A and B are shown apart, each in its own frame.
Chain A
């Protein structure tokens, strides 16, 4: 979290990260292992993601009902505004001609909230991980190129980062979403266009340090090409940093997707947690006191976003031990 603030303060405020030596993949593996071994919170985050990934994968098997099709009772009427079965008065459902098996009740038009919640994890993880991957890859490549080559390459890329820092994020996504067909991919594209800026700046400043180190000079002397030096010698050392920014990007992407859906710029045929909250808000769930509809999607968003934060912090503490002191 601190890193994210520092990235915005300009490259020079960022402390040098602690890096390992040795074979590229092994270092990366070792760092990852250390993160999840020493930091229980990061491990917790990882588990949360694993569980949600499993839920997303098996959504059609887990969800008892279709998330979009209204449920109907024996008379063919919608089973709407039903309390969760553990809150409802027993017997009420049978009078109306259905059996209340709804863990989280139903919406005003008889959709099963629990099934929506399960299916919503798909949009969240899809957006979260693809946006994070895009941000991390673009940011890393730009940071590597700018840091290694310096000169006009650096100037152009860093001015581009300044521009990206000057464009308001949420308004940008809203405009993109409005100009193209509503889709969850709008969020991913907009994030890829703008959010590489933090990653790019930080990685650039680390590359500035690493490229002065002996093993890089040695590679250069031995006649390795620039691209080889960048991607084979330098890149593995800064990859943990990309993971750090990637983890935060997952969190921001999930939050952003929720906000954009809530504002009504998402595809109404794709269930996401943000969409559920918009639906609840517009369908007067607040006035109806339908907390079983409002609280669960918010909690899911919070949980996944926190998972991203925890993992990011785990990396932060391993890479920047200075922040660790307790």
Chain B
């Protein structure tokens, strides 16, 4: 790794930290816009003024805005996201710690399926370019990208869960099974959990496979025009070998970057599917928290999702610069 690349990575990292700081500040201001007193929903009608002040002090809301801001930053740094309003006596971090893994499992599994199908589909579309199959296939993919995910989810639910009763309709498993999962590992080892993951994974994959497929297809078409591909053809390699070994390998790189970005965006975008399938993840918690005016929890979930997106954007940038030296050079120019 050259010195230039290291400088670039460090620069990009500092930039990401700054971006995160700005987002966190905006988040702080955004939640001050919340209608009414931020703890209005926490205060009991029987509270005396004194108790109310105590409570304001407990949440640091009695101080001037700039002091609150500093307390907020320091607490974030310590990963102290405050206390929830709607779960008696539990901290925001506590709730989010349970949700985050579920969201990650769902995101990763659906991306894996989507990108697997997408890459293979893209290769097939490129190989069969101009054919009826290709035209129908591409149109179908565009349709899946245009269909609202929750609607696809509703239709799949109707058939697979309610009509044919093949798959469970909601949650991550019956409580009778769930309470025995002491660790995340137990959960992952449980077939029940995977059965519950099938429908939401599939629903998301229906939507997500479009991007890698179209990207792979156009990259393939581009790569197939390159000299080295023509060379391998002339060298007498079979068409499939040319396709897979030479062309596909090179066309994969941008798809990988898109995958990294996809992780970040899916975690923020799974909200609707988590609601349709009652999947206990970050998105559903965010929606519930907003609906129940549990502002600390909503803010915490929002923050966590933003952190993941920024990290993934950073990784994607680095990946891109490492894979494509041209970008590295011009990106360096941008930083310096």
A179 within 8 A of partner (CB):
yes
Q: Find out whether the CB atom of B313 lies under 8 angstroms from the CB atom of A166.
A: yes
Of residues 187 to 231 in A, which have CB atoms within 8 Å of B's CB atoms?
none
Once the chains bind, are A168 and B302 in contact (CB under 8 Å)?
A: yes
User: Given the complex, which residues of B lie within 8 Å of A303, measured CB to CB?
Assistant: 146
**Interface membership of B315, Cβ < 8 A:** no
Once bound together, how far apart are the Cα atoms of A168 and B269, in whole Å?
8
Query: Which of A10, A297, A310 meets B317, CB within 8 Å?
Result: A10
Interface string of A267-281 (1 = CB under 8 A from B): 000000010010001
Given A259-B150, A277-B150, A306-B146: A13 and B225 interface contact (C-beta under 8 Å): no
Interchain CA distance A11-B142 in the complex, whole Å: 25
Q: Mark B290-302, 1 if CB is under 8 A from A, else 0.
A: 1100000010011
A171-B283, A323-B218, A326-B129 are known contacts. Are A5 and B162 too (CB-CB below 8 A)? Answer: no
Known: A167-B306, A259-B148, A259-B150. A302 touches B143 (CB 8 A): yes
Question: Binary interface profile of B, 10-22, with partner A (CB < 8 Å = 1, else 0)?
Answer: 0000010011101
Chain B residues positioned under 8 Å from A66 (CB to CB): none
Stretch in B81-89, B170-178, B325-333 with 4+ CB within 8 Å of A: B325-333
B215 adjacent to A179 (CB under 8 Å): no
Asked if A298 and B320 make an inter-chain contact with CB atoms under 8 angstroms apart, the answer reads: no
Bound CA span A207–B20, Å:
28
A174 to B334, CA, bound (A): 35
Query: Do residues A169 and B18 form an inter-chain contact, with CB atoms below 8 A?
Result: no
**Residues in B144-174 with C-beta less than 8 Å from chain A:** 145-151, 154-155, 157-158, 162
A220 to B246, CA, bound (A): 48
Contact with A along B270-312 (1 / 0, CB 8 A): 0110011000000100110011000000100110011001100
Q: Given A8-B261, A281-B154, A326-B130 in contact, is the A287-B214 Cβ separation under 8 Å?
A: no
Residues of A within 8 A of B130 (CB): 326
Does the CB pair B146–A305 fall under 8 Å? Answer: yes
Q: B268 near A168 (CB under 8 angstroms)?
A: yes
Q: A159-B15, A286-B158 are in contact. Are A309 and B146 (CB under 8 A)?
A: yes
In the complex, A163 has a CB within 8 A of chain B: yes
Contact with B along A1-13 (1 / 0, CB 8 A): 1100110111111
Contacts of A165 in B (CB 8 A): 309, 313
Main secondary structure of the interface of B (DSSP, over half): helix
Distance in Å from the Cβ of B95 to the closest Cβ of chain A?
A: 16
Contact between A10 and B331 (Cβ–Cβ < 8 Å)? yes
Chain B residues with Cβ under 8 A from A13's Cβ? 254, 320, 324, 327
**Does B34 sit at the interface, judged by CB under 8 A?**
yes
A59 within 8 A of B: no
**Once the chains bind, are B269 and A325 in contact (CB under 8 Å)?**
no
Query: Among B157, B218, B261, B269, which residue has its beta carbon within 8 angstroms of that of A170?
Result: B269
Q: Would you call A262 and B302 a contact (CB within 8 A)?
A: no
Query: Taking the complex as formed, is A264 at the interface, i.e. its CB lies under 8 A from any CB of chain B?
Result: yes
By the criterion CB–CB under 8 Å, are B272 and A168 in contact? no
Inter-chain contact B215/A5, CB cutoff 8 Å: yes
A172 to B148, CA, bound (A): 19
B167 → chain A closest CB, angstroms: 14
- The answer to whether B30 touches A175, judged by C-beta atoms less than 8 angstroms apart, is yes
Q: Within 8 Å of chain A (Cβ to Cβ): is B33? A: yes
- The smallest C-beta distance from B8 to any residue of chain A, in angstroms, reads 12
Q: Mark A289-326, 1 if CB is under 8 A from B, else 0.
A: 10000110110011101100110000000000011011
CB distance B148 to A262 under 8 Å? yes
User: Is there contact, CB below 8 Å, between A171 and B150?
Assistant: no
Q: How far is the CA of A272 from the CA of B334 in the complex (A)?
A: 44
| Pairwise interchain contact B309-A168, C-beta atoms closer than 8 A | yes
Q: Is the CB of A322 within 8 A of B306?
A: no
The residue from B30, B271, B330 contacting A12, defined by CB atoms under 8 A apart: B330
Q: Does B23 contact A (CB under 8 A)?
A: yes
Beyond A174-B286, A302-B148, 8 additional contacts (C-beta under 8 Å) are A2-B215, A168-B305, A174-B287, A175-B31, A263-B287, A277-B148, A277-B150, A326-B129
Q: Which residues of A contact B (CB under 8 A)?
A: 1-2, 5-6, 8-13, 159, 162-163, 165-172, 174-175, 178-179, 251, 255, 258-259, 262-264, 274, 277, 281, 286-287, 289, 294-295, 297-298, 301-303, 305-306, 309-310, 322-323, 325-326
**What would be 28 A-B contacts, judged by CB atoms less than 8 Å apart?**
A2-B214, A2-B215, A9-B320, A12-B326, A13-B254, A159-B22, A162-B15, A162-B313, A163-B23, A165-B309, A168-B267, A168-B269, A168-B305, A170-B268, A171-B305, A174-B290, A175-B298, A258-B151, A263-B272, A263-B275, A263-B287, A274-B148, A302-B147, A306-B146, A309-B142, A323-B218, A326-B129, A326-B130
